[in-house]
A and B are shown apart, each in its own frame.
Chain A
Amino acid sequence: MIRKTIALVVLAAMPLSVFADKDVGCGLGTQVWEGQSGIVAKVLAATTNGSFGNQTFGISTGTLGCSKDGVIKAEYRAPAFAAANLDQLAVEMATGQGESLEALASLYGIEGADREAFFELTKTNYGQIFASQTTSATEVVASVQSLMKADARLARYAA
Chain B
Amino acid sequence: MSPGRQLAGAAAFFLRACSWLLALACLAAGFSAAAADPGYLDELQASARERGLAGTPAWQRLLHANPGVLGRKESTLDFRGFFLSAEGKSDPQSELDATLATFFDDSLLYEEPRQCRFKARYEWLKAQLGFDAARLPEADCARLREWLEAIDASALTLVFASNDLDGPSTTFGHTLLRLDAGGAAGDQRLLAYAVNYAAQTTREAGMLYAVKGLTGFYQGTFSVMPYYEKVREYERFEHRDLWEYPLLLDDAARQRLMWHLWELRGVNSDYFFFGENCSYQLLSLIESAAPQMDLTSSFRSGPDYTIPIDSVRALRNVGVLGEPAFRPANAHRLKHRFSELSDSGRTWVQAYVAGKAGLEDAAFIELPAAEQARRLEVAHDALYFRYQKRETGRSASLPRARELLAARSRNPAVSDFSDVPRPPISPDQGHGSGRIGLGLRALEDEDTAALLSWRPAYHDHLDPPQGFLAGGEIEFLGIELAVNDEHIRLDHARLLNVQAVAPRDELFKPWSWFATLDAVRARPLAERPGSLGGAFTGGGGAAWTPFTGSQLFAFATTRVEANSDLGRGHDLGAGAKLGLAVQRFTPLTLELSGEALEGLAGADTDRARLDATMQWSFGVANGLRLGYRIDHRRDDDFRERDTAVELRWLHYF
**A interface, CB within 8 angstroms of B:** 32-33, 35-36, 39-40, 43-44, 47-48, 50, 52-61, 63, 68-72, 74, 80-81, 84-85, 87-88, 90-91, 93-97, 99-100, 102-103, 106-107, 111, 123-124, 126-127, 130, 133
**With a CB–CB cut-off of 8 A, which chain B residues contact A55?**
81, 110-112, 265-266
Q: Which of A32, A58, A85 contacts B225 (CB 8 A)?
A: A58
**With a CB–CB cut-off of 8 A, which chain B residues contact A72?**
150, 226
User: With the chains together, A56 CA to B201 CA distance in Å?
Assistant: 17
Q: Which of A33, A50, A97, A100 contacts B394 (CB 8 A)?
A: A33
Q: Which of B147, B190, B380, B406 contacts A100 (CB 8 A)?
A: B190
B399 within 8 A of A: yes
B301 within 8 A of A: no
User: With the chains together, A91 CA to B232 CA distance in Å?
Assistant: 15
- A53→B387 contact, CB < 8 A: no
- B223→A70 contact, CB < 8 A: yes
- B265→A80 contact, CB < 8 A: no
Do A70 and B406 form a contact, CB below 8 Å, given A43-B203, A48-B202, A95-B377? no
A-B contact pairs, 16 of them (CB 8 A): A36-B390, A44-B203, A53-B80, A55-B265, A58-B222, A59-B223, A60-B229, A61-B229, A71-B224, A90-B405, A94-B406, A103-B190, A106-B188, A107-B191, A133-B399, A133-B402
User: With the chains together, A85 CA to B219 CA distance in Å?
Assistant: 29
User: With the chains together, A133 CA to B400 CA distance in Å?
Assistant: 11
**With a CB–CB cut-off of 8 A, which chain B residues contact A100?**
190, 228
User: With the chains together, A43 CA to B198 CA distance in Å?
Assistant: 13
The contact string, 1 if C-beta is below 8 Å from chain A, for chain B 111-135, is 1100000000000000000000000
User: With the chains together, A106 CA to B189 CA distance in Å?
Assistant: 11
**With a CB–CB cut-off of 8 A, which chain B residues contact A130?**
402, 405
- B402→A52 contact, CB < 8 A: no
B79 within 8 A of A: yes
Give the shortest distance, in Å, between B410 (CB) and chain A (any CB): 8
User: With the chains together, A124 CA to B110 CA distance in Å?
Assistant: 51
**With a CB–CB cut-off of 8 A, which chain A residues contact B222?**
57-58
Extra contacts, 16 of them, besides A36-B388, A53-B81 (Cβ < 8 A), are A52-B219, A57-B224, A58-B221, A58-B223, A63-B225, A68-B146, A69-B147, A71-B150, A88-B236, A91-B405, A94-B406, A96-B412, A106-B184, A111-B184, A126-B406, A133-B398
| Smallest Cβ-Cβ distance to B262: which chain A residue | A69
**With a CB–CB cut-off of 8 A, which chain A residues contact B266?**
52-57
Question: In the complex, how many residues of chain B place their beta carbon closer than 8 angstroms to a beta carbon of chain A?
Answer: 59
**B interface, CB within 8 angstroms of A:** 79-81, 110-112, 143, 146-147, 150-151, 184-185, 188-191, 193, 200-203, 219, 221-226, 228-229, 232-233, 236-237, 265-268, 373, 377, 380-381, 384, 387-388, 390, 394, 398-399, 401-402, 405-406, 408-409, 412, 414-415
- B193→A71 contact, CB < 8 A: yes
| Smallest Cβ-Cβ distance to B110: which chain A residue | A55
- A35→B405 contact, CB < 8 A: no
Q: Which of B79, B110, B221, B402 has the most chain A CB atoms closer than 10 A to its own CB?
A: B402
- A70→B79 contact, CB < 8 A: no
Do A39 and B237 form a contact, CB below 8 Å, given A52-B219, A58-B223, A71-B150? yes
- A127→B409 contact, CB < 8 A: yes
User: With the chains together, A94 CA to B188 CA distance in Å?
Assistant: 20
Give the shortest distance, in Å, between B577 (CB) and chain A (any CB): 32
Give the shortest distance, in Å, between B384 (CB) and chain A (any CB): 7
- A71→B265 contact, CB < 8 A: no
- B191→A33 contact, CB < 8 A: no
Give the shortest distance, in Å, between B159 (CB) and chain A (any CB): 15
**With a CB–CB cut-off of 8 A, which chain A residues contact B221?**
50, 52, 58
User: With the chains together, A96 CA to B377 CA distance in Å?
Assistant: 12
| Smallest Cβ-Cβ distance to A133: which chain B residue | B398
| Smallest Cβ-Cβ distance to B144: which chain A residue | A69
- B399→A85 contact, CB < 8 A: no
- B388→A35 contact, CB < 8 A: yes
**With a CB–CB cut-off of 8 A, which chain A residues contact B110?**
55
User: With the chains together, A110 CA to B147 CA distance in Å?
Assistant: 24
- B390→A40 contact, CB < 8 A: no
Q: Which of A36, A39, A69 contacts B265 (CB 8 A)?
A: A69
User: With the chains together, A28 CA to B324 CA distance in Å?
Assistant: 34
| Smallest Cβ-Cβ distance to A100: which chain B residue | B190
**With a CB–CB cut-off of 8 A, which chain B residues contact A90?**
405
| Smallest Cβ-Cβ distance to A120: which chain B residue | B412
User: With the chains together, A90 CA to B333 CA distance in Å?
Assistant: 17
- A33→B224 contact, CB < 8 A: no
**With a CB–CB cut-off of 8 A, which chain B residues contact A69?**
143, 147, 224, 265
Do A33 and B265 form a contact, CB below 8 Å, given A52-B79, A60-B229, A94-B408? no
**With a CB–CB cut-off of 8 A, which chain A residues contact B381?**
91
- B405→A94 contact, CB < 8 A: yes
Q: Which of B146, B222, B226 has the most chain A CB atoms closer than 10 A to its own CB?
A: B226
Q: Which of A40, A59, A81, A102 contacts B226 (CB 8 A)?
A: A81
Give the shortest distance, in Å, between A90 (CB) and chain B (any CB): 6
| Smallest Cβ-Cβ distance to B383: which chain A residue | A33
Do A94 and B79 form a contact, CB below 8 Å, given A33-B394, A70-B193? no
| Smallest Cβ-Cβ distance to B394: which chain A residue | A33
Give the shortest distance, in Å, between B151 (CB) and chain A (any CB): 6
User: With the chains together, A71 CA to B111 CA distance in Å?
Assistant: 18
User: With the chains together, A44 CA to B200 CA distance in Å?
Assistant: 10
**With a CB–CB cut-off of 8 A, which chain B residues contact A106?**
184-185, 188, 191
User: With the chains together, A95 CA to B405 CA distance in Å?
Assistant: 8
User: With the chains together, A71 CA to B237 CA distance in Å?
Assistant: 23
Give the shortest distance, in Å, between B370 (CB) and chain A (any CB): 13
Give the shortest distance, in Å, between B438 (CB) and chain A (any CB): 47
Q: Which of B146, B228, B236 has the most chain A CB atoms closer than 10 A to its own CB?
A: B228
Give the shortest distance, in Å, between A79 (CB) and chain B (any CB): 12
